Amino acid sequence: MAPRVCASPVDPVLELLQRRPELVVHALHRLLGWELEQPARAELVDVGDTQLHAHGHEWAADLAFALHRIGGPSTWLAVVVPPAREEQARAYLWPCYAALLGLRRGGPAGLLAIVGDEDVAWARQTVACGFGALTFTPLVVTRAALLALGEDA
């Protein structure tokens, strides 16, 4: 059984990121305001590193990236592009994608959600994982901003 993913495989945002992985670094810097300590490059990695089996289904993020910092350690980023609000995915699957990616790749990992303007506040909500002591907050950018960034960069 093929893993279920959040977005359609012909989604223009996914196609853009597959073709130009460096846009992930630009999105972190220009759209989210991250001050990158040193030059970094992004590289697609096996999305299977986010895969999990739950309730008789296989689940995986849409894309996964290694963020290599020159002279520094790599970090990892799972990417989801949900076509609609998926409360259960945001609350349960998204934290798992990041945790599994970090565990399987051996380093810190996060999750980037790419959503429509109307879903930014929903996607940015912090999820309480385990009695509120452990929390997870996705990074969020809009589809339009990422597509515009692709045209500019």
For the segment 3-17, what is each residue's pLDDT rounded down to a tens digit?
444 455 568 999 999
pTM of the prediction? 0.87
Q: What local confidence, expressed as pLDDT, does residue 4 receive? A: 45
pLDDT (0 to 100) of residue 3 = 47
pLDDT reported for residue 10 = 66
Is residue 51 classed as helix, strand or coil in its secondary structure? coil
Q: What is the spatial distance between Cα 153 and Cα 131, in angstroms, rounded to a whole number?
A: 42
- Nearest CA to 109 among 121, 101, 119? 101
pLDDT in tens, 108-121: 999 999 999 999 99
Per-residue confidence (pLDDT) for residue 81, from 0 to 100: 96
- Give the pLDDT of residue 130: 73
What is the 8-class DSSP label of residue 131?
T
N- to C-terminal Cα distance for the chain? 38
Q: Identify the segments of the chain with pLDDT beneath 50.
A: 1-6
